[in-house]
Each structure stands twice: as structure tokens, then as C-alpha cells.
Structure 1
Amino acid sequence: MSHTVVRGKPNAAQLYLDTVLDAILLEQGIKPDAAARSNVPLAQILLHCLKQRPDEVFMSNAGTGVDITNEQHLKRVISIARTLTAMGLKGKHALVEMRNHQETVAVFFALLFAGVIPFMMEPNATVYELTHFLKLVEPSIVFHDGEFAPAMLEATRACPELVPILVPADQPGVLDHFTKEQPDDIASYRVPESGMDDTVLLLPTSGSTGLPKAVVLTNRGLTTVLPTPWTYHSSFPSPTKRTMILTTIQWVTFTMFTTTSVAYHIPIVMTPKPITADHVIEIMEKYRPTWGYLAPAFAVSLVPLIRPDQLSSFETMFLLGAPATPTLMGNLKAKMSETARLCDGYGITETHGLIAIPDRDAPINSNGWVLNFLHYKIVDDGGAERGRGQNGELWVKGDTVFKGYYKNMAAYEDTVTPDGWFKTGDEFHLDENDRLSYVVRKKITFKHMGSHVAPEEVERVICSVPGVHESVVCPSDSGPVAAVVLLPGATVSREQIHAVVNASLSEHKRLHGGLAFVPSLPHTHSAKLKRNECSKLIEELIKSGDCH
């Protein structure tokens, strides 16, 4: 019985992780049992698993074509970790702003090994964003790519009270010089002690409706989610051949999949190059990944360009980060092999990653069952529990619920009840088989004509119009109003969009405030709409007479 399970039976992926934990405990002379397994921190798991298969590929850099073995990766990690320990940085904070390459993952793992708490920053962050997080996190050291040096220097000048060490880690010879006094010997290295509820990682929230915050993540949460991507599988280790990671370092998907792939001996492929449709297709053709995930907004632009043979290697594809429309799900599934699984998963940074995964028999529009290491309930606006066949806000409780927002207890207390229930802010339908289907983000609804309008519902209808890439809906004095982005070369009229909306939605949900076509919309680091900025954009479009 896996120590993480609170409902039902453990799956094969959880039971396999138990065997890994048992092997680590036996190496330490500890008798394995559930209590002992629940006290093995993430860094010990990563070190053990990387040592097991030194000659296997850890990752492929699709931007350079270079493969890095587990041994090469581990040597780099250990030399950096020893340097950080010698600098006395255990328990202090580091800020990381790097693209997806081998030095990035080496720095991330080294910080975990050394007990330095990384805050993972969006590549290409603005000076304003960097300044905000420098003041919040107060890092002792900053690892960044050389291209970000000007912005980083400007941001640090705006924080004269801070004097972090700046390390342009991707530049030739920099990490070699940084670690020159420390050996990379694997056999003699030991991970320092770390408590399971210690803070080991900080990740930014999206900041879609306010200033972004830093989510506190722990060993207990990060180890509990390790099996979740492999819920479908029964053969371990290496349940799939290669994982494609496209999200950048500030996403919980990046931190979750780089670590779980090590624990389950699965090579990863990632790239420091910009994520364009052409480059992703190139990765799929060359590396033939079998497991991956896409943000729905990117998938919309990819589907018209990709051929079935280019997607044919995938056994499993997840859409994560935002709601996926039925149209997108259908169009993408039509280009995948008949045996491949396309899943609309659901997860949040505040729960260390995934909350629900569709099972093999789930309808294509279902988010599936809540994972078995979480208690859950759906509730009405007053907090009363609702049942099958009803809608309500999803609340979850368990070891993967985060421990706080760094330096922001008020926001945490507003989100987590005194008895530990995390209020996701998302409304779901619970079907007769206890599967969830996403309905709406409760926090962004508004009223028109005395009735509630869910912007995402209207946005999904707008995005069902062929040629529409993306849309946002906001309130106005006249009613719902939309800004719409078209796919390149598409010719879509206002009349076409109004006709589809009017045929699909009730009177109070229609675009009485009009719509405007725009070249792009503002997004957060995690590709979610910045709704406050979208509202300001729409206000300007209304004033200029462009909404009608």
C-alpha cells in the first residue's frame, strides 16, 4: 500500500515508487515501511535514480542536438551543489532565469541537492517583474542566461539593499570557473538532510488578476506527485520512451516532469529555442517523443500545420494550463494515432501539479477522476457539499496542497480553510461516475441583465469559429464585450462571430458590448490571459469606437 494514497487502491506507478524508496532506505540501513518511505526527500530520490543508470541519456537538447547522459548531468549537479554548500547558502534563496538547456536543469537539481531554495523565474521577464520578485524573494544568488544580463542588472540596481551574486550560467566556462574548487566525484557525495515539510522550491503564480505571488512547495508535495503522469502505465521502470518538455522553468509542469522523468528512468527532450510550431514539429520528427503536453493556445496554432505522421510517435498527449475547447480536442485527436490518448488534464501550482487525470474510458471532454492522494468535494457558494450530477467549486485536501504564499499569509488564509481545504476557484460538474468536467473559473464571472456571465464559456463559443485563434470577454456598461485574435491569414467577420454566439448562448451572455479584432492579447508567464490588462485594453477599444 503506497503511503501517499488516501482513497482507493494504489496504482502501479505509485507501487513502483515504493520500490525505489525501499532501495534508498536499505542503502541507508533503514528497514522499509510506510512511515520510513514518507520521509525520503526529493533530492535523495534524484541522486539514487541518476546513479542507477549512468550511461543512459538524461536529456536531449533539441536546440543544439547534444545528448547528456545521467553521469554527465550528475557530475555537473554535484560540483555546483558542493560549491553552493561551501558558500554557506543552505536554507537561503536563489533566483533562476534561464531557458531550457542542460545547464538549467543542472542548476535546478544542484539547488535542490544543496538545500538552497530556488525561485524559478520566467525567461524574458520584464525589469518590473524581475524587480518585484527580487524584492519578494531576496535571493543570495542569481543564475541567469547571459542574454538576460542587462535586464537583471537594471532590476538589481532598483534593489540597492540586495547584493546577490550574479552567475551567467549558460556562458562558456562560467560554471566551470564557478565550481573549480569543488570535485564532481559521485561515489562520495551525500545529500544533506532535509525535512519533508521544509520549503524546497518557490514558483510564481500566474498573477492573472493581481500581482503574482510565490507558492511554497515542499519535499512531501513534490515526492507525492512523482507517480501522477504515469497513472496509465503498468510496466516500470521506463513506462514510456521519451518525454517532451516545452514549458519553461516557472511552470510546475517543468519542475514536475524533469524530476519524475528521472525517478522513472525516462529521457527528456527540451529546447532553449523559442517554441514555434515549426520548431516543435522539427522536435517531433527528430526525437519521436512518446509522451508530452501542450498549452491549448499553442495547440490551436499547431493543429493546422502538423501532419498525422509527425504526431504518430505519441502514446499520450496532455493539454494543460488552460481549458481546452471540444473543437480543439477533436481536431487534435483526429491527427493522432487511434491508440494514442489525448487528455485534458487539470492541475494547479498550489497543489504541486496535477489534481485530476482522465482515465482510459473517460469522455474526451472530461478531466477525469481526482487523484487518489487527495480528498475532494464540490461545494456551492456557501460551502455546502454538492453531489453527483451537480456543479460546484472544487476543494481539495492532502499532502500536495501548498503550505503558503511566501510573505503573504493573508492570501493563503483566503485560499485555504482552517481545516486544510484548498479552494481551487474552479467550478466543475461531477458526473454519475465521479468524474470532473471543467465548467468555469468562478473568480472571473460577472453579471449582466441580472444573470451571471462566465467569460470562459463565451470565449469557448467564440473560439469555435474557424479562423479564431484566441479571445477574451470582459464586462462593459452595455454587456459582454470581446477582443478577438485571428489565425494568420484568416478572414472572419464580426457578423460571423455574433451569429455563432447568438445561436449558442442565452441573451444575457451575448456580445451586447460588441467585439474588436486585435493582433494579440496580454498573457502571464503560464500563458493565461492577464484579465486586468485585457479589461484595460477593451476599455481603450470601446473609447476608440472599435468595439461594435
Structure 2
Amino acid sequence: MTIQDAIRRWASDSGDRAFLVSPENNETLTFLQLDERLAQMAAQLDAMGIGAGEHVAILMDNGQWTATLLLALMASGRVAVPLNAIAGDSQLEYVLDHCDADLVFASPAHEERAAQLTGRVERSIRVIPTCPDRGPSWETSADAGTASLPAVDPDDTALLMYTSGTTGKPKGVMLSHRNVIAGGMNTVEAHTLSREDRGLCVLPLYHINAEIVTLIAPLISGGSVVMPHRFSTRAFWELIREQHCTWFSVVPTIVTYLLEQANNEDPGVRDNPDFSRVRFGRSASSALPVATHKAFEEAFGIPLIETMGLTETAAQILSNPLPPFQTRYGSPGVAYRNKVKVVTENGEEARRGEVGELVVQGDNVMQGYYKNPEATQESLDEEGWFYTGDLGYQDDEDFFFITGRLKELIIKGGENIAPREIDETLLRHPAILEAAAFAIDDAHYGQDIMASVVLKHNQEVSGEELTEFCQGEIGKFKTPREVLFVQWLPKGPSGKVQRLSIADMLDDLKQSPDMVADNR
């Protein structure tokens, strides 16, 4: 199956059914209308000389046309290249140069920036102004009409997604139609999605979570998706109620925002019949702290399903089962429709409970890294197993538990310490909203531990109190040598804390009055 097949299946079977809802202007795009746009888009691209297999970039925030462009490009045989709108200029300039796109669709908010960035790239790149709600301002005639779509093979590249590049230059992840469809199907099976389900998409479409989980999965199941321009804490529950959403996908950062709102004002969700249609929420893209997980379910009375996915695996690889299964707190779940195992340093499968690296095999695993055969060879073995770089173990009931990242391990006096264990400990303190532990250089141990923390609203605690708290929970050896109170933690597009970036920025953070918080 390809993206083209998925769209045309529902256009012919249930063409008048809603697929995409834009709450800001209350417009709905049906499956049939989406199919018609494919032919119109193909004609316009043909007229511009952008043929099948060519790369087209998108620099836009969420909106009906952002989703339409992504789907239309893939379905018409082009390769969609979503650009991270919150990335720095140097990173975006690198991606634009590296991805070989000759065309960029840019929304009004990013049009000027796109023009500046493309001007720094040696080849000519056209910028098409594109309103997220009304569509592109085409250079070609409005009478371009429609065009027949080329045949698309499941192994043709559909999507080129760039990683965040926190440990070097961003890598371009090549995902075929087979990969993208498999990633969507993994989500459909794990969450038993059907045509009766309606998801809420509040994550940016330039991230794999939103792209596959909340756009491709409903396309496969025949369901629908509500897509506001951006996430809003105040509007979140109102959208779910007004649009009759049955599920939503968020990241742990959003979970903490919603909890903060619940602490300050009652959103009226628990036991409210207006929210009876909500089957579950899902959390992905970074580890969900157990204390946060339990607090969310207690506050809102909605099951929150922890999952795990990567850009290289077209999103979801693991998920907790839905109720009535008992939530396995602290675990991203079990494998659905792909194989996941833990391997030791010598490549052998680890024993249950033994920590090693998670590896993944399945139709959802990427084709490779674009123009980077060395990185591809390092990550993919001859049998198609992708080495994730995530450390963890599998228990006797097939649930996986993540202990950290290979590159983030703190090695103190020869002992491996997982930063997440320290994060979880700090988050159990009632004053802490967010926490991130990381390695710092130490003359005696080689490395020692430091932690940055964000306090909850109107909470106070000293570094000495947190040190005593950690010593009582995990012992002196794993207790941070120093705690830095900050107003926010640097995060990637998915909301994942950029732990290595904190260590790199440490000197700047300590001297920045806009960053450092007063903990008194």
C-alpha cells in the first residue's frame, strides 16, 4: 500500500466523510476533496517542472494546507521534506542545502526567513508563499487543471525527515511509502483505531509523532483528525469537547502544562459527560515520568498510554495496551507489528532484565540516512535491525523499560548511571515540575552529576534540600553534586529535553538572568 492507495480507498468508499477539521475557521476537508486536491497539486507541480521523485520542502506551522501538502506530495510521487520551524538558522540552512529540494512552501510567518535562508544556498530554490488555511500562491496559471498521478511503488521514498541534530549535523531519515504506512498501521493496531475515531493533533507536523500518529494513522483507519494551528493549554479540553475527539497524542511537556492548569483552575474533565467519548490519550517522544503519569490520570480520569517511537522507525514501535489492561507505569510498553529486542555489547540478545541496546526490525524501519552511507551502516545491520542508541531491558511479560541513551550515560568512577533515574527521583519531590540530570567533568571521578530543575508555580525549595532528598532516595553516589534552578529546559521539536545541550550551555545558563530562576 502507498499513501496514494490509502487516500483513494476512502475517497471511493466514503468520500463525503470528514478527514481533516480546521477549528479556527470551522472548515472540514473530506476524503473526496483531499483526493481532488491531489490531482490539482500534481498538475501545478508538473507545470513548475517538479517531477516524481524530486524533493519539495515545507516550512509551515500546522493547518489544513500543511497536512494537504504533505499528503499530496507523497501521494503524487514526490518526496516531502518537512522543515523544523523552530530550528536555528544554521541548522535550517544546512538542511536546505543537504536535502536537494528546489522548491519550498512557506507560510506567511516563515516566508521572509525562507527567502533569506534559500539565498544562502548555492543552488536556486523557489519559495512559494502558502497560507496554512487557503493554500499556495502558485507561480503557474490557475488553469493548470488536474493531472493523472504517476504510479507509486511502496518502496519509493515518500518522506525525508531530519533529526534534531543535538549531537552533530542533522541526519536525513529516508522513509518509503512502505515505512510510512507500516508506522501508521502500528498505531492503528496498538490503539484499535477505527473510522469512528477522531484524534486531536496539537504536535507540529514537522515532527514524526504528529506526521505518522495523528495524520497517517487516521488516514489508514478511515477516521478523522482535528488540527488547530498550535497547542494551547486553555483551548485543549474545549477542542476535545466541541469536536467530539476520542483520543489525542501529546508529549510529556504538554502533560505537565495540562496538570499545571488543573492545579490552578479546574478544567471540569473528570466525570463530565461531555468528555465521555475520549477513550485515551497517548504520550510519546520522551520518557513520561511515573509521578506525572499517575497525577494526570488522577486529575482527569482519562487513561494515558505511554508509547515509544523514533523518526528512523516511522514513529511508534512500542505501546502499552489499552484498558482494561492495567497500566505498566514507567514502561513504553510492548511491540506491535514490529520486532524489538535488547542486545548486549557483543550483539547477542540480552537476558530478561539485563540492560542493553534496543534494536528494531520491521517494515517501519527507515531505508537509511540520505547521502550518509557511513551513518546508515552504523545504524542498520545486514538483517535490517536498527540500533536505536536507547538503553533498556525487557521484563518477563515482554514489557520494555528504558534506562537512558548510550550517549547520555553518566560514567562516574567507572560506574554507569542512567540520568533518567535521577530525573525520576527529583520529580517525586512535590516542588519540582521538570528535571534533567547530565554529566559534568570531575577531576576525581572523571564525570560527576549535575541536574537542572524547573519549580512548580509558587513552590520553593533549596538545593541543599533536594540534595538531602536524593540521598535518601538513591544514595549519595547518584545524588547530583549541584542543582541549577532554571526557568525552562531546552527542548527539541517533540518536547524532548535536550540533555546534552544543557551540558554544552552550562556556562551561559549560569550567567543568564532570563534562564536562571530564583528558588527562594
TM-score, scaled relative to structure 1: 0.84
What residue in structure 2 maps to residue 407 of structure 1? Answer: 371
From the superposition, tell whether residues 355 and 314 of structure 1 become closer, same or farther in structure 2 (CA, over 3 Å): same
SS of residue paired to 2:440 = coil
The one-character-per-residue Cα deviations of 1:40-75 (angstroms, maximum 9, x if unpaired) are: 322122222133222222221123332233333333
SS of residue paired to 2:167 = coil
* Letter aligned with residue 491 of structure 1: E
Select 2:215's aligned residue among 255, 258, 269: 258
Q: Give the distance between the partners of 2:458 and 2:4, measured in 1 at CA.
A: 49
Q: Is structure 2 residue 279 aligned with structure 1 residue 315?
A: yes
* Letter aligned with residue 511 of structure 1: P
Do 1:397 and 1:422's aligned partners in 2 also have CA atoms closer than 8 Å? yes
Q: Give the distance between the partners of 2:254 and 2:141, measured in 1 at CA.
A: 38
Q: CA deviation at 1:312?
A: 4.6
TM-score, scaled relative to structure 2: 0.89
Q: CA deviation at 1:538?
A: 2.0
The one-character-per-residue Cα deviations of 1:110-167 (angstroms, maximum 9, x if unpaired) are: 21122111111122433222211111112111011011012111111211x2212211
Where do residues 183-262 of structure 1 align in structure 2 (5 Å cutoff)?
183=145, 190-231=148-189, 237-238=194-195, 240-256=196-212, 257-262=214-219
Q: CA deviation at 1:541?
A: 5.1
From the superposition, tell whether residues 224 and 81 of structure 1 become closer, same or farther in structure 2 (CA, over 3 Å): same
Do 1:321 and 1:528's aligned partners in 2 also have CA atoms closer than 8 Å? yes
SS of residue paired to 1:169 = strand
Q: Give the distance between the partners of 2:11 and 2:211, measured in 1 at CA.
A: 16
Do 2:65 and 2:135's aligned partners in 1 also have CA atoms closer than 8 Å? no
Select 1:507's aligned residue among 429, 453, 476: 476
* Letter aligned with residue 485 of structure 2: F
What residue in structure 2 maps to residue 267 of structure 1? Answer: 224
What residue in structure 2 maps to residue 79 of structure 1? Answer: 40
Do 1:311 and 1:335's aligned partners in 2 also have CA atoms closer than 8 Å? no
Where do residues 292-307 of structure 1 align in structure 2 (5 Å cutoff)?
292-306=248-262, 307=267
SS of residue paired to 1:303 = helix
Do 2:3 and 2:71's aligned partners in 1 also have CA atoms closer than 8 Å? no
* Letter aligned with residue 307 of structure 2: G
Q: CA deviation at 1:342?
A: 2.1
Do 2:440 and 2:503's aligned partners in 1 also have CA atoms closer than 8 Å? no
SS of residue paired to 1:489 = coil
From the superposition, tell whether residues 173 and 457 of structure 1 become closer, same or farther in structure 2 (CA, over 3 Å): closer
Tell which deviates more after alignment, 108-117 or 72-81: 72-81
* Letter aligned with residue 427 of structure 2: C
Tell which deviates more after alignment, 108-117 or 118-127: 118-127
Q: Percent same amino acid at aligned positions?
A: 23
* Letter aligned with residue 458 of structure 1: I
Q: Is structure 2 residue 13 aligned with structure 1 residue 52?
A: yes
Select 2:397's aligned residue among 433, 451, 458: 433
Q: Give the distance between the partners of 1:176 and 1:318, measured in 2 at CA.
A: 38
Q: Give the distance between the partners of 2:428 and 2:141, measured in 1 at CA.
A: 53
* Number of equivalenced pairs: 497
Q: Give the distance between the partners of 2:468 and 2:241, measured in 1 at CA.
A: 40
Q: CA deviation at 1:349?
A: 1.0
Tell which deviates more after alignment, 318-327 or 393-402: 393-402
What residue in structure 2 maps to residue 494 of structure 1? Answer: 463
The one-character-per-residue Cα deviations of 1:193-248 (angstroms, maximum 9, x if unpaired) are: 122222111111122322221100001111223322232566x851x431111111
The one-character-per-residue Cα deviations of 1:472-516 (angstroms, maximum 9, x if unpaired) are: 22222342111212233332332332232111213321111x111
What residue in structure 1 maps to residue 445 of structure 2? Answer: none
SS of residue paired to 2:43 = helix
Where do residues 273-284 of structure 1 align in structure 2 (5 Å cutoff)?
273=230, 275-284=231-240
Select 1:379's aligned residue among 343, 347, 357: 343
SS of residue paired to 1:196 = coil
Select 1:287's aligned residue among 243, 254, 259: 243
Q: Is structure 2 residue 462 aligned with structure 1 residue 462?
A: no
What residue in structure 1 maps to residue 111 of structure 2? Answer: 149
* Letter aligned with residue 263 of structure 1: I
Q: CA deviation at 1:101?
A: 0.9
Select 1:162's aligned residue among 123, 138, 146: 123
Where structure 1 has 5 or more consecutive residues not aligned to the other structure, the ranges are 1-39
Where do residues 79-118 of structure 1 align in structure 2 (5 Å cutoff)?
79-89=40-50, 90-118=52-80
Select 1:355's aligned residue among 317, 335, 352: 317
Tell which deviates more after alignment, 418-427 or 358-367: 358-367
Q: Give the distance between the partners of 2:307 and 2:191, measured in 1 at CA.
A: 16
Backbone CA RMSD of aligned residues = 2.5
The one-character-per-residue Cα deviations of 1:51-106 (angstroms, maximum 9, x if unpaired) are: 32222222211233322333333333321122113433221111101111111111
The one-character-per-residue Cα deviations of 1:151-184 (angstroms, maximum 9, x if unpaired) are: 111111211x221221111076744775612335
SS of residue paired to 2:155 = coil
Q: Give the distance between the partners of 2:299 and 2:84, measured in 1 at CA.
A: 31
* Letter aligned with residue 496 of structure 2: K
The one-character-per-residue Cα deviations of 1:22-42 (angstroms, maximum 9, x if unpaired) are: xxxxxxxxxxxxxxxxxx322
SS of residue paired to 1:280 = helix
What residue in structure 1 maps to residue 352 of structure 2? Answer: 388
Q: Give the distance between the partners of 2:334 and 2:237, measured in 1 at CA.
A: 31
What residue in structure 2 maps to residue 364 of structure 1? Answer: 328
What residue in structure 1 maps to residue 449 of structure 2? Answer: 480
* Letter aligned with residue 108 of structure 1: L
SS of residue paired to 1:504 = helix
What residue in structure 1 maps to residue 26 of structure 2? Answer: 65
Q: Give the distance between the partners of 1:211 and 1:102, measured in 2 at CA.
A: 31
From the superposition, tell whether residues 443 and 125 of structure 1 become closer, same or farther in structure 2 (CA, over 3 Å): closer
From the superposition, tell whether residues 51 and 532 of structure 1 become closer, same or farther in structure 2 (CA, over 3 Å): same
Do 1:82 and 1:114's aligned partners in 2 also have CA atoms closer than 8 Å? no
Q: Is structure 2 residue 377 aligned with structure 1 residue 416?
A: no
* Letter aligned with residue 170 of structure 2: P
Q: CA deviation at 1:319?
A: 0.6
* Letter aligned with residue 469 of structure 2: V
Do 1:209 and 1:530's aligned partners in 2 also have CA atoms closer than 8 Å? no
From the superposition, tell whether residues 407 and 329 of structure 1 become closer, same or farther in structure 2 (CA, over 3 Å): same
The one-character-per-residue Cα deviations of 1:357-412 (angstroms, maximum 9, x if unpaired) are: 1124354323222123x233211222221122333221122222111111111111
From the superposition, tell whether residues 477 and 375 of structure 1 become closer, same or farther in structure 2 (CA, over 3 Å): closer
* Letter aligned with residue 413 of structure 2: M
Where structure 2 has 5 or more consecutive residues not aligned to the other structure, the ranges are 443-447
Tell which deviates more after alignment, 522-531 or 195-204: 522-531
Q: Give the distance between the partners of 2:449 and 2:191, measured in 1 at CA.
A: 44
